[in-house]
Amino acid sequence: MKIHEYQAKKLLRDYGIPVPRGEVAAPLEEARRIAAELAGQVVIKAQIHAGGRGKGGGVKKALSPDETYAAARSILGMQLVTHQTGPKGKKVRKVLVEEASAVRKELYLSLVVDRSRGKECVMFMASEAGGMDIEQVAATAPEKIIRCAVHPAIGFSPFQARKLSVGLKLDPEQGRQFAEICRNLYRLFREKDCSLLEINPLAITAQGRLLALDTKLNFDDDGLYRHPEIRELRDADEEEPLEVAARNASVNYVKLDGNIGCMVNGAGLAMTTMDLIKMAGGEPANFLDVGGSASPEQIEKAFRILTSDPSVKCILINIFGGVLRCDRVSAGLIQAVANVEMKLPMVVRLQGTNVEEGRRMLRESGLRVTVADGLYEAAQKAVSLIG
């Protein structure tokens, strides 16, 4: 799960990490008051779940309350396009107004979960070449990014902070601040089950203070059940509406760009089905895993999600009936199609317990359904139905 910069900064502040003072201007008229209270130059920042806002025009500076209001008004509601949003961009619904800082140097600092074999731990990554071109640095000068793996049983050690400080060429006072920041970031990362924590830039101000000017914080969805206060930070406006509906129905769904809607039980089978559609020359409209049980209720919910995507022109159902028998799956499908009033052509591939009975029920149902035996055959039939 992703959250906004202003929410992430609140969490950082709670953990003792220095961030600029600021507030979200909601309603927009608040921008003037916030700027007046901060006194001096301010930064106005679009809040969307994507980075690259600076280059896309989503970060502006202002010197007076009136200027702040004008900048906030121009950013709010804009369709912000950055290298992370895709060509359609994202609509800006919230604007953060913060005190501006005089920046001497921009560092990069992040914590990620390194899943590679032999590591499988939280990894600090840092660079003295932080700021808006960090992707460029990673691509062309990877030696400028230093790494430090944290052993889960030992935790983050002072010597690791010193190693990173030396790599960042910090002076002893900055090194002290940096060690404290790292220690607190690691605590936050672990306690809140984060999957990614990035500060870019971590500024060294003109006064020699380290300050988190921008931050991105993602959480492991599987850990959210134990953090109600984090779940509350979810902003459904930033998420794909069908993915929100799918989450509410406990269906694993990811929207894609193609036109063949897929309904599959099991993530591995769902991935395979998408690959086979590609091999047969088609494009999947989604990844959808109805889960191991695939009850009639789940199937109906999944149908509603698939059919509310206007780009879906054909539906491919690939279910392996194990504990759940194929005849039950067919009964569920027939009922769901009737309830949803589905009119799209459908290819169904069933395999497993009571498969013959399941297929017979579908053939005799009077539905617009093509029954397939094999995996690849099912994909080919779906592609040919699109024409």
Q: Taking phi first (over 0 means left), then psi (-120 to 50 degrees means alpha), and beta for anything else, what does residue 169 get?
A: left
Could you say whether residue 289 binds Mn ion (CB under 5 A)?
no
Could you say whether residue 59 binds ligand GDP (CB under 6 A)?
yes
- Binding partner of residue 223 among ligand GDP, Mn ion, none, CB cut-off 5 to 8 Å per kind: none
Burial readout 100-115 (b: 16 or more C-beta within 10 A, e: otherwise)? bbeeebbbbbbbbebe
Phi/psi of residue 129, each to 5°?
-100, 60
**Least distance (Å) between residue 99 CB and Mn ion:** 17
Which one of the listed residues 5, 67, 198, 238 is annotated catalytic? 198
List CB contacts of 267: < 8 A, sequence separation 6 or more.
252, 289
Could you say whether residue 51 binds ligand GDP (CB under 6 A)?
yes
Q: Between residues 17 and 277, which has the closer beta carbon with respect to ligand GDP? A: 17
User: Radius of gyration over alpha carbons of the chain, in Å?
Assistant: 25
Site for ligand GDP in 89-128 (CB under 6 A): 100-101, 103, 106
Active site residue 229: no
**Least distance (Å) between residue 10 CB and Mn ion:** 17
CA gap 41, 152 in Å, rounded: 42
CA gap 46, 352 in Å, rounded: 51
Could you say whether residue 213 binds ligand GDP (CB under 6 A)?
yes
Q: Between residues 41 and 272, which has the closer beta carbon with respect to ligand GDP? A: 41
Question: Count of alpha carbons within 13 Å of 250, Cβ hemisphere only?
Answer: 7
Q: Between residues 206 and 323, which has the closer beta carbon with respect to ligand GDP? A: 206
Active site residue 376: no
Site of tokens 């961030």: 19
Q: Between residues 101 and 354, which has the closer beta carbon with respect to ligand GDP? A: 101
**Least distance (Å) between residue 126 CB and ligand GDP:** 16
Burial readout 200-225 (b: 16 or more C-beta within 10 A, e: otherwise)? bbbbbbeeeebbbbbbbbbbeeeeee
Q: Between residues 48 and 355, which has the closer beta carbon with respect to ligand GDP? A: 48
Among 214, 238, 300, 327, binds Mn ion (CB under 5 A): 214
Which one of the listed residues 5, 67, 98, 108 is annotated catalytic? 108
Which residues are at the interface with Mn ion (CB under 5 A)? 200, 214
What residues act catalytically? 108, 198
Binding interface with ligand GDP (CB under 6 A): 20, 43, 45, 51-54, 59, 100-101, 103, 106, 131-132, 200-201, 213-214
